[in-house]
Structure formats: C-alpha cells, structure tokens
A and B are shown apart, each in its own frame.
Chain A
C-alpha cells in the first residue's frame, strides 16, 4: 500500500514541477520581462515613453475602439442570447454558427474582408470615395474590425446561462402584469448580471489587445490610426526597446487587471450558485 502511495506522490510532484516550470518559462518570465525591459532605463524613461504624443494617441484610439466595440457587442450579445435562449425560431442554429464565425476565422482574414469590402478597390469603395467617407485605414475601420473579432464574447457567455435558467421567471413576471421591458430589467438582467460582466471583461480585453485584424485595416499612420498593440510593433521594429516595452506594459497591466476581475467574477458566480444548498435550517423550524 505504502509503495503505491509513494509512487503516486513521486508522479504527482513530477507533474506539478513540470507544470510549474512550464508556466514560469512561458507565462511568468515573459510577463516579468516586459516590466523589467520597460523599466530598464529607469522610471523617467518609462514615463517619457508613455507620455510620447504618438503613444498617447495610440492609447486614446484603443480606448475609443473598445468604448464603441464593447457596448455594441454588449447590446448585440444580450439581444442574440435572449432570442436564442428564450425563443424557438427557424434558423436558430444558423445564427448560433454565425456568432462563432469570428472565433473560427483568422483575425487577419477578418481584416482583409473589410479591406475588400470598404477599400478603394473593394465593392463599396468607389461609392464611399464619392461620398467622401473613409472607413479602411481610418478609425471607423479599426472600430469595425474590433467589433467583428469581439463579436462572440458576450453572446457565448450568456447563451448557456440563459438556456439553463429557462423562461419561467419571465413568464411569471408577465403573468403578474409586468411589461416586456420591466420584465427584462427587473427579472432577466439581475439573473444574468454576473455572466454579463464576465463576458464584458473578456470582450474588453480582446478589444484592447487585438492585433491582426486591426493591423490590416489600420494603415499604421502614427498618431492617427495606431492602436496600442500596433504602436508596440512599430517601436519594436525601430529598435526602441524601452519605449516598446513601456507601451507593452500597459497591455500586460490590462491583462493582469482583467485576470483579477475575471477571477473575482468567477468566485462570486460560484458563491451565488452554491447558495441554494445552504438552506437555512433555523428558518425552517421557526
């Protein structure tokens, strides 16, 4: 007996150490390196790199893109999952598959689609040019590409949650005389708020960190159509390592904050789900 126990202990520790080494080598070290490199020439150089007008403009653009993409996909995600989870209709599976398209298509391809559609040589290009509307190689293109790649996050998070919750509470609310909008605000939203927050956090992280699709449609005009990830690449290609890593540290910091928020939401969801088991026995006898 003790023999087998000792052996599993060895196997167990070997696996744990292997996993730890792997994590340190591929996850912790690179992340630490970002901050080390960024601060290599001191805090002053770090702040200077961040205060550079081009960097500030990149940060602004990233925030703008996320500020449009996240609410847009929030609204779409709630609408789509509401429709899919609570109603039966023809083409439901097609819609489900369509929502997943941005996950299955390479971001570079998604960017290219926008160029082919809205670019000067594209389908709508000439018409847009005539009306003096620029989409590709401008902010609208970046926003569109960001919306596209972050499309599934909120919906994917909410659909299973809403399906599991069913429609009885909504039916009860309607039967009690609540209007559709009151039912939605007072019954549906409170039931999905944690899943919703989780989806929004992931959506935001991806919106700010997206490189491929945005890179294709951006045109890389410094101070105008550069987002943070694109700016990092430019700085790096110019051998401006301190500045590149300083700007990259913003993204790394964002990732850490996202992880923390995500863990908090997960922990809280678990806590909320566990509640039904803890029936208060004192209350039952009272």
Chain B
C-alpha cells in the first residue's frame, strides 16, 4: 500500500522539525529516511504512524486520507529503536498482544492466535524462544520479536525507527540483510529511519535524504550516491574533499589549495567549491602538469580494503585520498613523502541549485 505525505509541517516550540514536507512512498517498496539527528526523519515516521500530530498537512495510505485517525486505527506496524517490548510478558505473549486486545467479535480463536504467533516466530527464527522473557534475549533477538509483534496484526505498512541503532556493528549488518530478505518475502510497504548512510544504501530500494526538516533528495541508492542533488547529500553520503575551483569556458579548473570538507557549510561562496570523493583523486610522485596540487602525506591508514591517506596541501588545508593496496605498494608511500594529486571527478554545485 502506498503512502502519500502532503505538505506536513511540525514544530516543537521554536524548533521547526518538518518544513512543508511532501513525499510519495510507493507500494511494496523498502524506503529509507536518511539524515543526521534533528533532520526530522523520526518525526515524519511518527506522524505517519499517528504518534505525533502535524501542525498542518495530510497523510494518505493507499489514497485514503487517514490524518484524522488515531494511531490505534491506522493499522500500521511500528518497530522502535529500543524495541519497546512488554517486559512482563513472554515472547509469545508479546507477539500475541495485538490479536488478544481486539474486540471480541474480531478476535481470532485461541488456537488461531497460537498458530499465527508460532508461524511469525518461525519466520523470525525464534520459535524456540516463545516462553522466554525479553530480558533473557540478546538485542538482535529482541528486535526480531518486536518485528514479529508488529507483523502479527497484518499492518498495511511497516514503519521502523532506527531499527538497528541500538545493536552492535556486527549484529546490525546481519540483521539488515535479514530485513532485506524478509521484505522481499513479505512485500509489505516499509519505511525505515536511519542516520547510517551505509545501511540506507545497502538495504533500501529508495532513499529519502533529509536535512533540517526538509527533503534534500529522493532517489535510488545509485542515484543519491552518484548524482547527489545538493552539497548536503554529497557530503552526507560519504567522505568528501572540498577544493576551490574556477569555471573556465565550461571546464572546471581546480585552483590549487584544498580545505577540509566537513564543516564548511556556512560559506556563501559555495559556487567556487568543488566536491571530490577520496577515491576520485589520482596520486603520483611526479607532477601531472597544470591543475595538480602538491601535498605532503601526514597520515597513512593501510588497514582495510583500501589505503586511506591524509594529505596536507602545500597551499594549506587537509584532504583525504583513498587508493588501492596495489597502488600503495607500487608507489611505496611513507609518511612525510611529497606527492602530487589531481582530482578526477569534481562535482560543482551551481548556486541556483543550492538555495
């Protein structure tokens, strides 16, 4: 079932959490709301669920306006970051809760509840844990219980608020692949909130990048990674170096000195900045000719699939370059070596696109 968000605005006191946000979430997809904390992604999810009330705007599920309905009547499945399992109930009772609290005339028979709960626990591979209490489970197991509890009421849409945020890195990776497989099996329209771009890129069919209560870009993982619409998206989806550039006859010319990227958002001369990913730079011991930058290596991190170099430009500023292990061996780089760097893919955002 598709979800349509129309012109949602929400503020908490003076803080504007969502600023006239509109969004179409297609049926059966797995969509990620990606952004830093305070970007409004969780607020948007809670508004869709009916847990928060927007100042204005409407929410539609499958074309039907549900804005006036309470959270209880929206029939959405919701998974909380910290699981929110009922501590005093067993795993079985947790999953059965949504069925047991139904009014008598719509409540399934006891045996049917039991069958459905066990089927769901089997789906999340926890059928042998049915009699345990949440405190006796690991974080990953708890989140799987929370997911099957949400699915028990056969929700129209499934909303997940930082579902893996409270788990350690290894479990998180396992669980997100598992979620992807589960979604491919169930085909229930799902939206999950995350601040982890890697997670969003790996799991989602489509990513909504949010910043300061606005949507920056909506697109497939390839889209947002390779064709970021704004400097924010470019910076948020990976490491980035910032260079001063000039545009000469439609060509981008790097004007030498580099600045460290992350912080520099307030500068109104953004037009003269070029964005380059660490793997978008060529490095050599000899000069590339005009347009290259001479620099000194200040740090080498060779642990991992790529070698990460931190360079100090001779004209000032730090930047990061990543190269393959083979390149690193061929060049025989050590600390304090002088090298030349030439950006390969420079992305320049025209000022009119960046208001």
Residues of A within 8 A of B (CB): 168-169, 171-179, 182, 186-187, 190-191, 275-276, 278-280, 283-284, 286
The reply to whether the CB of B98 lies closer than 8 angstroms to some CB of chain A is: yes
A-B CB proximity, top 10 nearest: A176-B98, A168-B84, A178-B101, A172-B84, A190-B88, A280-B136, A276-B135, A175-B78, A275-B135, A182-B101
Evaluate contact between B98 and A177: CB separation under 8 angstroms: yes
Task: Tell which of B87, B133, B149 has the most Cβ of chain A within 10 Å.
Answer: B87
The yes or no answer to B323 lying at the interface (CB within 8 A) is no
B225 at the interface (CB under 8 A from A): no
How many contacts A-B (CB < 8 Å)?
Answer: 81
- Residue count of chain B within 8 Å CB distance of chain A: 35
Chain B residue at minimal CB-CB distance from A165: B87
A168 and B80 contacting across the interface, CB-CB below 8 Å: yes
Chain B nearest Cβ from A277, distance in angstroms: 9
Cβ–Cβ contact A174 & B72, under 8 A: yes
Residues A177 and B87 in contact, CB atoms below 8 Å apart: no
A44 to B85, CA, bound (A): 58
B82 at the interface (CB under 8 A from A): yes
Picked from B87, B129, B132, the residue with its CB within 8 Å of the CB of A191 is: B87
B135, chain A: closest CB distance, angstroms: 4
| CB interface residues, B 97-154, toward A, < 8 Å | 97-98, 101-102, 128-129, 132-133, 135-138, 141, 149-150, 152-153
| Cβ contact within 8 Å between A179 and B101 | yes
Q: Give 10 A-B pairs besides A178-B72, A283-B132 with Cβ atoms closer than 8 angstroms.
A: A172-B86, A172-B149, A175-B78, A177-B75, A177-B101, A177-B102, A190-B86, A278-B136, A283-B137, A284-B138
Inter-subunit contact B135/A279 (CB<8 Å)? yes
B301-354 interface with A by 8 A CB criterion? none
Interface pairs (20), CB distance under 8 Å: A168-B84, A169-B86, A171-B71, A171-B78, A174-B71, A175-B71, A175-B72, A175-B76, A176-B97, A177-B72, A178-B72, A178-B101, A186-B86, A191-B87, A191-B88, A279-B135, A279-B137, A283-B132, A283-B136, A284-B141
Given contacts A168-B82, A171-B71, A190-B88, contact A176 B149 (CB under 8 A): yes
- Minimum distance in angstroms from A21 CB to a CB of chain B: 43
B51 within 8 A of A: yes
Whether B137 lies near A173 (C-beta < 8 A) is: no
Give Cα A175–Cα B87 distance, bound, in whole angstroms.
Answer: 17
| A172 near B101: Cβ-Cβ < 8 Å | no
Q: Which residue of B lies closest to A282 (CB)?
A: B136
**Measured between alpha carbons, how far is A171 from B82 in the docked complex, in Å?**
12
Q: What is the bound-complex CA distance between A179 and B98, given in angstroms?
A: 11
A176 touches B84 (CB 8 A): no
